[in-house]
Chains A and B, each alone.
Chain A
Amino acid sequence: DAGVIQSPRHEVTEMGQEVTLRCKPISGHDYLFWYRQTMMRGLELLIYFNNNVPIDDSGMPEDRFSAKMPNASFSTLKIQPSEPRDSAVYFCASSLGLGRGADTEAFFGQGTRLTVV
Chain B
Amino acid sequence: QKEVEQNSGPLSVPEGAIASLNCTYSDRVSQSFFWYRQYSGKSPELIMSIYSNGDKEDGRFTAQLNKASQYVSLLIRDSQPSDSATYLCAVEGGGATNKLIFGTGTLLAVQP
A residues neighboring B (CB under 8 Å): 33, 35, 41-45, 48, 55-56, 91, 95, 98-102, 104-111
Contact = CB atoms under 8 A, between A and B. Distances in A.
Given A42-B105, A43-B44, A105-B46, A100 B51 contact: yes
Interface of B: 31-32, 34, 42-46, 49, 51, 88, 90, 92, 97-105
A50 B104 CA distance: 25
B44 A108 contact: yes
A45 B101 contact: yes
A108 B46 CA distance: 9
Contacts of A45: 99-102
Contacts of B44: 43, 91, 108
Contacts of B97: 55-56
B30 to A, nearest CB: 11
A83 to B, nearest CB: 22
A82 B20 CA distance: 40
Contact of A98 (B45, B49, B92): B92
Contacts of B49: 102, 104-105
Contacts of A105: 34, 46, 49
A37 B104 CA distance: 9
Contacts of B98: 98-99
Contacts of B46: 105-107
